[in-house]
Structure 1
Amino acid sequence: MNDTYVTVVGNVVDAPRRYRPDSGNPVTNFRMASTSRRYDNRSHEYVDGGTFWVDVECWNDLSGNVSGSISKGDPVIVHGALTTHSWEGDSGRRSVPRIKAFAVGPNLARGRADFTRTQRAARPGGEGGQEPEAEGQGAGGGPTGSDEIPVPGRDYVTADAALHRSDAPELAAEPAHV
C-alpha cells in the first residue's frame, strides 16, 4: 500500500457540505486553497506565488466535527491521504486532487480557537479500570468512530486548574516588534 500522505495549510473556499451517501457513513466535503508566499528582494515585500486548489473529504465523526466547526474563509490545516478524483465531462476526461482527511484543524497562527471534546458514550467491558479496546483505527492511525471515553493518563481530562482561560491577562495581545 503506497498512500501519499500530505499536510496542507490554506483557507476554506466554500461552505462545507455534509450528506449521507448510500454507504450510510456521513461525509463532509469542502474545497480549500493554499497559496505560496515568498519574499521578493527587488520590491522588499512578500508576494503571492501559485495557488494549490484541493477538494477535502471527511468521513464519520470527523464529518460532523468539521461541518459544525469550519466555515468558508477559515484558515485550516488538513492532514490526510492525497488521491485524484477523475470523471468524464462534456469536454473530456477531467480530474482534481482530493484529500481524504484524517485530521482537520484551525490554523492557530492566524487566530484563536476554543476546543470542545466530542462526548462519547461508555462501552460495556470498559469499566473496572480496564481500558476499552481500540477500535475503528483509520489508515492514518487515528480514531474513525469509536465510542471511547477519555482515559486519564492517555487522553486529556478536564481540569480547570490545568488550563489557562482564553481571556487570561498573560495571553493579552502584544504589539509586534519589528
Structure 2
Amino acid sequence: MPDTDITVVGRVASPPRLARLDSGSSVVNFRIAATSRRFDRTTQDWVDGETFWSDVECWGDLGGNVVRSVSKGDSVVVVGRLWTRDYESQNGRGSTSQIRADAVGPDLRWGWAEYHRPARTAREEAPAGPAPETEGSPFADEPLDGAPTSEDYVDDPETLSSLDPDRELREPALH
C-alpha cells in the first residue's frame, strides 16, 4: 500500500521534546494544530473551522534541527507521511494520527528566518557508507557555531551579487 503523504501548515502546539533511544537513535516529538478558516459574508469576518491535531515525529538530524529552531506557538509547514497509531489506555483502546516528518520549516507568511547549515565533516564528504545517526549530527555535545565553512559558500564580490544594488531600479513588487 502506498504511503499517505501530507503537508500540514499549522502552529506548534507543544514544545518539541528530544528523546534518545537505547538503540542510539534520537527522535523529536511535538504536536501540531491546523485550523481551517473561512470568510463569513454574513458577519463580514473570518471564522475558525475545525482543528486538525496530529503528533509529529522527527528522526535523526531533522529532529536536532527542529529542537534548535522550533518553539511552541511557531507557525510551521510539516511535510511527511501520515499514519495512525493505535494505543490502549485506562479508558480503553484508541487511535491518533501521527506524521513522520520528512521536512519541517517556518511559515514565512508570519515572520522571517535565518538559515544556518552545519559545516560538513570529513565523514560526510567521503562516501564511506551509512554512519550512525548521532555522529556529526546536531545532537553532538559541541554546539553548532552557525558559520558556513563548506566551499558551497564563497564570500567573493565577483561571485555574489549585492542584495540591493540600486534602490532606483527595484522591481515594482518590492516598493
- TM-score by shorter chain over 0.5: yes
Partners of 1:12 and 1:134 in 2: CA distance: 35
AA partner of residue 82 (structure 1): L
State whether residues 80 and 103 of structure 2, in contact with CA within 8 Å, keep that contact through their aligned partners in structure 1. yes
Q: Which residue of 1 aligns with 2:78?
A: 78
Q: Which residue of 2 aligns with 1:33?
A: 33
Partners of 1:48 and 1:41 in 2: CA distance: 14
Q: Which residue of 2 aligns with 1:116?
A: 116
Partners of 1:135 and 1:151 in 2: CA distance: 21
Partners of 1:163 and 1:146 in 2: CA distance: 37
How many positions carry a matched residue from both structures?
152
Structure with greater contact order relative to length (CA < 8 Å, sep ≥ 6)? 2
State whether residues 33 and 52 of structure 1, in contact with CA within 8 Å, keep that contact through their aligned partners in structure 2. yes
What is the TM-score with the length of structure 1 in the denominator? 0.73
What is the TM-score with the length of structure 2 in the denominator? 0.74
Q: Which residue of 1 aligns with 2:20?
A: 20
Identity %: 46
Q: Which residue of 1 aligns with 2:97?
A: 97
AA partner of residue 93 (structure 1): R
Partners of 1:72 and 1:120 in 2: CA distance: 30
Which runs of structure 1 show a deviation greater than 6 angstroms over 4 or more consecutive aligned residues? 133-136, 144-147
- Deviation at residue 23 of structure 1 after TM alignment: 2.5
Partners of 2:124 and 2:102 in 1: CA distance: 27
State whether residues 17 and 28 of structure 1, in contact with CA within 8 Å, keep that contact through their aligned partners in structure 2. yes
Q: Which residue of 1 aligns with 2:139?
A: none
Q: CA RMSD in A?
A: 3.2
Partners of 1:89 and 1:83 in 2: CA distance: 19
State whether residues 135 and 146 of structure 1, in contact with CA within 8 Å, keep that contact through their aligned partners in structure 2. no
**Which structure 1 residue ranges, 5 or more long, are not aligned?**
127-131, 137-143
1:158 aligns with 2:153: yes
AA partner of residue 27 (structure 1): V
